[in-house]
Amino acid sequence: MGSLAQLKQQIAREFGTPAVVIDLDRVEANINRVQALCDKAGVANRPHIKTHKIPALAALQIAAGARGITCQKIGEAEIMFDGGLEQTSILISYNLIGEARAARLAALLRRGADMAVCADNPVTLETYASAGQLAGRRVPVVIECDTGRKRAGVETAREAVQLAKAIKDNDHLSFGGFLFYPTEQSWPETQKFHDEAVAGIRDLGLVPAIVSTGGSPNLVNMGKLRGATEHRAGTYIFNDRMQMAAGVATLDDCALAVFATVVSRAGAERGIVDAGSKTLTSDVGGLDGHGLILEHPQARIKGFAEEHGFLDLAGVNDKPSVGDVVRIVPNHVCVVVNMVAQLIAVRNNEIVGVMPVAARGKLV
Amino acid sequence: MGSLAQLKQQIAREFGTPAVVIDLDRVEANINRVQALCDKAGVANRPHIKTHKIPALAALQIAAGARGITCQKIGEAEIMFDGGLEQTSILISYNLIGEARAARLAALLRRGADMAVCADNPVTLETYASAGQLAGRRVPVVIECDTGRKRAGVETAREAVQLAKAIKDNDHLSFGGFLFYPTEQSWPETQKFHDEAVAGIRDLGLVPAIVSTGGSPNLVNMGKLRGATEHRAGTYIFNDRMQMAAGVATLDDCALAVFATVVSRAGAERGIVDAGSKTLTSDVGGLDGHGLILEHPQARIKGFAEEHGFLDLAGVNDKPSVGDVVRIVPNHVCVVVNMVAQLIAVRNNEIVGVMPVAARGKLV
Name the residue ranges covered by the structural domains of chain A.
4-22+242-356, 25-238
- The alpha carbon dihedral of B224, B227, B230, B234 has a sign of negative
Choose among A347, A233, A250, A263: nearest CA to A292. A250
Residue A148: pLDDT above 90? no
Whether A362 contacts A79, CB under 8 Å: yes
Cβ-Cβ contacts under 8 Å, B300 against chain A: none
What is the b/e burial string over A332-359, where b = at least 16 CB atoms within 10 angstroms of the residue's CB? bbbbbbbbbebbbbbbebebeeebebbb
Average pLDDT estimate for B181-200? 93
Whether B46 contacts B78, CB under 8 Å: no
Separation in Å, CA of B29 to nearest CA in chain A? 25
pLDDT of residue B217: 83
Residue B163: pLDDT above 90? yes
Give residue B315's pLDDT band: very low, low, confident or very high (50, 70, 90). Answer: confident
Reported as a single tens digit per residue, the pLDDT across B46-80 is: 999 999 999 999 999 999 999 999 999 999 999 99
**Interface contact A282-B278, CB threshold 8 A:** no
Across the interface, which of A17, A264, A335 has its CB nearest the CB of B278? A335
pLDDT of residue B150: 86
**Interface contact A72-B307, CB threshold 8 A:** yes
Averaged pLDDT score across all residues of chain B: 96
Q: Dihedral (C-alpha) B186, B192, B195, B199: value to the nearest 10 degrees?
A: -140
Residue A217: pLDDT above 90? no
Cβ-Cβ contacts under 8 Å, A363 against chain B: 18, 278-279, 307, 339-340
CATH for A25-238 is 3.20.20.10
Give residue B129's pLDDT band: very low, low, confident or very high (50, 70, 90). Answer: very high
Choose among A295, A301, A360: nearest CA to A330. A301
Give the length of chain A.
Answer: 364
Average pLDDT estimate for A127-135? 98
> Which pTM value belongs to this model?
0.97
Between A285 and B32, the higher pLDDT residue: B32
Query: Chain B interface, mutation test: which of A51, A52, A97, A354, most B Cβ atoms within 10 Å?
Result: A97
pLDDT of residue B298: 97
Averaged pLDDT score across all residues of chain A: 96
Average pLDDT estimate for B244-248? 94
Average pLDDT estimate for B219-233? 94
Across the interface, which of A100, A284, A334 has its CB nearest the CB of B16? A100
pLDDT of residue A255: 98
Distance CA A276, CA B363 (A): 10
Whether A58 contacts A47, CB under 8 Å: yes
Cβ-Cβ contacts under 8 Å, A130 against chain B: none
- Architecture (CATH level 2) of domain B4-22+242-356: Beta Barrel (2.40)
pLDDT of residue B38: 97
Distance CA B248, CA B7 (A): 28
Reported as a single tens digit per residue, the pLDDT across A80-122 is: 999 999 999 999 999 999 999 999 999 999 999 999 999 999 9
**Interface contact B94-A307, CB threshold 8 A:** yes
Distance CA A319, CA A313 (A): 7
Between A186 and A344, the higher pLDDT residue: A344
Distance CA B309, CA B18 (A): 11
Class of domain B42-237: alpha beta
Give residue A323's pLDDT band: very low, low, confident or very high (50, 70, 90). Answer: very high
Q: For chain B, how are helix, strand and coil distributed in percent, rounded to 5?
A: 35, 25, 40
Average pLDDT estimate for B294-307? 97
Separation in Å, CA of A312 to nearest CA in chain B? 11
Between B265 and A148, the higher pLDDT residue: B265
Cβ-Cβ contacts under 8 Å, B341 against chain A: 361
**Total CB pairs under 8 A between chain A and B:** 178
pLDDT of residue A286: 92
Average pLDDT estimate for B124-131? 98
What are the counts of helices (DSSP H) followed by strands (DSSP E) for chain A?
10, 17
Reported as a single tens digit per residue, the pLDDT across A19-36 is: 999 999 999 999 999 999
**Interface contact B282-A282, CB threshold 8 A:** yes
pLDDT of residue B183: 84
Distance CA A143, CA A120 (A): 6
pLDDT of residue A270: 97
Reported as a single tens digit per residue, the pLDDT across B146-156 is: 988 888 999 99
Distance CA B13, CA B10 (A): 5
Separation in Å, CA of B97 to nearest CA in chain A? 7
Give residue B29's pLDDT band: very low, low, confident or very high (50, 70, 90). Answer: very high
Across the interface, which of B15, B100, B338 has its CB nearest the CB of A12? B100
Residue A185: pLDDT above 90? no
Average pLDDT estimate for A341-346? 98
Separation in Å, CA of B104 to nearest CA in chain A? 11
Give residue B205's pLDDT band: very low, low, confident or very high (50, 70, 90). Answer: very high
Q: What is the largest CA-CA distance in chain B?
A: 72
Other C-beta atoms lying within 10 Å of the C-beta of residue A205: 8
Q: How many CA atoms lie within 13 A of B68 on its CB side?
A: 20
Residue A1: pLDDT above 80? no
